[in-house]
A and B are shown apart, each in its own frame.
Chain A
Amino acid sequence: MPDATSGPAWERRLLLGLLLAPALLWLFALIVLPQIDLALLSFRERVAPREYVASLAQYRTFFAEPLYWHVFVRTAVMSLAATLATLLIAFPVAWTIAKLLRGRLSALLFVVCLIPFWVSETVRTLGWMILLRESGVLPALLAHLGVTAAPVELLYHDATILVGLVYTSLLFMVVPLVSSLESLDNSLIEAAYDLGGSGWSILREIVIPHAAPGITAGCIVVFMLMLGNYLTPTLLGGKSSQWFTEQIYTQFIVRFNWEQGAAFGFLLLALSTSMVWLGLKLSGQRFGDVMRRT
């Protein structure tokens, strides 16, 4: 009898393999191969026209030239700050959607979070620029209201970059938060309240632990989106945006220095990987649980 059972099982596995093969091949061709290619690129150095040798020069340049790791650290710190700001803003919004509003109103608030995505990122960012530039709407309004004596330039500040980044990624934080808060049984909050809990202690002891996978998922997604963002920091940050993706773009496209660009790309990948790992460690979450939330 073993044949009767192992035959179909073996066939099923083959069938499954065949069904998955195109997807796996696609993944391999689009994700794994380019990564390997980039890795090889990053470990070589041009010594003469069309002549390359294996070397660590690209990585050495990164550490030797303060401006590169300065931009790198700045990108990481700003992304982190923007992620935290997004969390702080998204949490009350998600709470309102999940717990305070019912039906139509709750859906409406969700749609409001979606509005930034009705236009492309370029248009959205240009919209911000029109609003914030010195001859734009907001400075004129501030001057008119007497908040400032004359229209001031609101573009090209670090705070502007943060605002732009938070605005763009709010939805990616709200969605996992709403789904994890919705699954929180209201009676748990009431029970905690009944047992003497205050708003703050309930948030800390009940709500945040319950929503931790959602919070972690949101933070990971948002942080990676911010690290990898290009348009928002370069357009809103102007002459001092100093975003690391811009450095990568410059190396690849403007300087024709693919080797350096590839090395930078890998450093960014290492940064986001280690930040995700750290985030999971700190919040005590498992990757699988968290990703199911997104």
Chain B
Amino acid sequence: MQAVLPMLLALALLGGGAARADDSKRLRIITWSDYVPAEVIADFKKETGIQAEVTLSNNEEIISKLRATGGAGFDLAQPSQDRIVGAQQEFRIYKPFDLSQVRLDQFMPDLLATVRKNATLDGKLYGLPYVWGAEGLVVNSKRAKLADYGDLCRPEYKGKTSIRLRRPVLMAFAFASGKDPFALYGDIKAYSALMESVGRTLIACKPNFRFFFDNKDQALNGVRSGELVAAMMWDSGGWALNRENPDIRFINPKSGAIAWLDTFALPARGKNDAGAYAWINFTMRPAIAAKIAKSIGNFTASKGADELADPRLKAQFKESFPDGFRNVRWYPAIPAGLEEIEGKILDRIKAAD
């Protein structure tokens, strides 16, 4: 009986995309927008004959869709590194990598190490690094001066800022309040109290937010049209806007940008593992990775791709992070149960008047 709902949900979510004849000739990827440029798909097809099919999504939807199907429907997924272990423990939606199939020498060793630390369960590795970046503040410097997350709540910016009402904003405001939420991951009680207080801050700040954005385009449009003077957003988005309008800048807030690392993961019931390994090895070649980096506007985990990166992007990175990575926070894996606490806080912020 419990299988009916997942089946139907899966049907609905996949739009009835029933199995096609030759599974080895296609690779179904669920990922973020801009992560898989059309050019790379074409190159991959030319080389291997495999057609990559892309479904755009985000962390929560990746987990939900795979949960609904028990890990079927896709051959490759790209969740953030901190969201793998918890979901795997709870829903068993991934399968571990067979590292003999992966050219590990193509990856930057420190990012590989981060993933090994955060995405290993029962001694098996469930994620490989793909792209990394940070969330900080995008500011229209002509119209606003912000130094930290808390400045989004300054009275003069009432109705002119925006955030995405998801867990990163809770982390950001926790850091801004002078606490380290990651250090409290193990202490549910203290963590709850911290989240409660962050929730209160954000509820008080709610009049300042014009809207809570759901996708990158909505946020970009808000800043571009001038309706927003500042937003908490991804670095790549800020740099894209900066190319259109030099007044708009991505800044590393005083309490630190929060770095994310998105990965490759194998859905538990994917049908084309060989294709997935081929894709991973293909995209981590420095030349291909450079194309991807250009499409996303972020840096990849490919060793040697940085040298090939767009000089403009490098300049933007330098400007936003003058001190390099000294003031950047990396997500540790989320222990189970924390997201429920955060969920209630987020609901409360949403419902507050």
Hey, which bits of chain A sit against chain B, CB under 8 A? 30, 33-34, 36-38, 40-41, 49-50, 65, 67-68, 70-71, 133-135, 153, 155-156, 238-240, 242, 247, 250, 252-258
Q: B39 near A: Cβ within 8 Å?
A: no
Residue B67 interfacial (CB < 8 Å)? yes
**Residues from chain B with Cβ under 8 Å of A34 in the complex:** 4-5, 8
Q: List 6 A-B contacts (CB under 8 A).
A: A36-B1, A50-B92, A135-B226, A155-B211, A254-B343, A255-B339
- Whether the pair B351, A71 counts as a contact (CB closer than 8 A) is yes
Minimum CB–CB distance from A181 to chain B (whole Å) comes to 38
Q: Is the CB of A250 within 8 A of B210?
A: no
Which B residues touch A65, using CB under 8 A? Answer: 344, 347
* B134-178 with Cβ < 8 A to chain A: 159, 165-166
Instruction: Please report the C-alpha to C-alpha distance between residue A252 and residue B225 in the assembled complex, in whole angstroms.
Output: 33
Is A37 a contact of B343 with CB atoms below 8 Å? Answer: no
Contact, CB under 8 Å: B350 / A239: yes
Binds A, one of B46-54, B57-65, B301-309: B57-65
Main secondary structure of the interface of B (DSSP, over half): helix
Please give, as numbers and ranges, the residues of chain A lying within 8 Å of B344 by CB-CB distance. 65
How far apart sit A36 and B339, CA to CA, in the bound complex (Å)? Answer: 28
Contact check, A153 vs B159: say whether CB atoms are below 8 A apart.
yes
Residue B185 at the chain A interface, CB threshold 8 Å:
no
Contact B350 A242 (CB under 8 A): yes
Q: How far is the CA of A277 from the CA of B227 in the complex (A)?
A: 45
- Please tell me if the beta carbons of A37 and B64 are within 8 angstroms of each other in the complex: no
Q: Given A49-B90, A156-B211, A253-B61, are A242 and B351 also a contact pair (CB < 8 Å)?
A: yes
Report chain B residues within 8 Å CB of A252: 64
- Among B67, B92, B210, the most chain A Cβ lie within 10 Å of the Cβ of B210
> Is B323's beta carbon under 8 Å from chain A?
no
* Contact pick for B91, options A250, A253, A256, CB 8 Å: A256
B22 adjacent to chain A (CB < 8 Å): no
With a cutoff of 8 Å between Cβ atoms, the chain A residues found around residue B250 in the complex are none
Task: Kindly supply a per-residue 1/0 record for chain B positions 338-353, scoring 1 wherever the CB is within 8 Å of any chain A CB and 0 otherwise.
Answer: 0110011001101111
Nearest A residue to B63, CB-CB: A256
With A67-B351, A239-B206 as given contacts, are A257 and B340 in contact (CB-CB < 8 Å)? Answer: yes
Contact A49 B89, beta carbon cutoff 8 Å: yes
CB-based contact A239/B91 at 8 Å: no
Q: Which residue of A lies closest to B67 (CB)?
A: A256
Tell me, in angstroms, the Cα distance from A155 to B166 when the chains sit together: 22
Q: Flag whether B2 is at the interface (Cβ < 8 A).
A: yes
> Mostly helix, strand, loop or mixed at chain A's interface?
helix
A37 touches B2 (CB 8 A): yes
Shortest beta-carbon distance from A26 to chain B in Å: 13
Q: Which residue of A lies closest to B206 (CB)?
A: A239
A40 to B1, CA, bound (A): 9
Given A239-B212, A242-B350: A255 and B343 interface contact (C-beta under 8 Å): yes
* CB atoms of A37 and B347 under 8 A apart: no
Write the nearest CB–CB distance from B75 to chain A, whole angstroms: 22
Query: Does B260 make an interface contact (CB < 8 A)?
Result: no
B209 at the interface (CB under 8 A from A): yes
Add 8 more A-B contacts to A255-B340, A256-B60 (CB < 8 A): A49-B89, A71-B351, A239-B209, A239-B211, A242-B351, A254-B166, A256-B87, A256-B90
Closest B-chain residue to A66, C-beta based? B351
Within the assembled complex, what's the spacing in Å between the Cα atoms of A258 and B92? 16
Chain A nearest CB: distance from B62 CB in Å? 10
Complex-state Cα separation, A269 to B225, whole angstroms: 41
A37 to B8, CA, bound (A): 11
- Is the CB of B336 closer than 8 A to any CB of chain A? yes
Q: How far is the CB of B17 from chain A (nearest CB, A)?
A: 18
What's the nearest-Cβ distance from chain B to residue A291, in Å?
Answer: 26
A156 touching B210 by the CB < 8 A rule?
yes
Q: Is the CB of A133 within 8 A of B212?
A: no
Within 8 Å CB of A49, what residues of B?
89-90, 336
List the A side residues contacting B165 at CB < 8 Å. 239
Known: A156-B211, A252-B64. A40 touches B2 (CB 8 A): yes
Contact assessment for A240 and B353 in the assembled complex, using a CB-CB cutoff below 8 Å: yes
Bits for B56-85, please: 1 = Cβ < 8 Å to A, else 0: 000011011001000000000000000000
Question: Which residues of the partner chain A approach B353 to less than 8 Å between Cβ atoms?
Answer: 240
CB-CB under 8 A from B350, the residues of chain A are 239-240, 242
Q: Which 5 residue pairs are nearest across A and B when measured between Cβ atoms?
A: A67-B351, A238-B211, A37-B5, A255-B343, A254-B60
Pick from B1, B225, B227: contact of A37, CB below 8 A: B1
Q: Do B347 and A250 touch across chains, with their CB atoms under 8 A apart?
A: yes
Q: Interface centre among A38, A40, A71, A253, by most B CB within 10 Å? A: A253
Write the nearest CB–CB distance from B85 to chain A, whole angstroms: 11
Which chain A residues lie closer than 8 Å to B63 at the CB level? 256
Q: Smallest distance from the beta carbon of B68 to chain A beta carbons, Å?
A: 9
> What distance in Å separates the Cβ of A125 from its nearest Cβ neighbour in chain B?
13
Given A34-B5, A256-B90, A256-B91, does the pair A134, B339 have CB atoms closer than 8 Å? no
Say how far B242's CB is from chain A's closest CB, in angstroms: 21
Complexed CA–CA distance, A242 and B347 (Å) = 9
**Distance of B132 from chain A, by nearest CB (Å):** 23
Q: Note all chain B residues with C-beta closer than 8 A to A255.
A: 60, 339-340, 343
A68 to B343, CA, bound (A): 12
Contact of B227 among A40, A50, A134 (CB under 8 A): A134
Complex contacts, A36 vs chain B, CB 8 Å: 1
Known contacts A253-B64, A256-B63; decide if A37 and B4 are in contact (CB<8 Å). Answer: yes
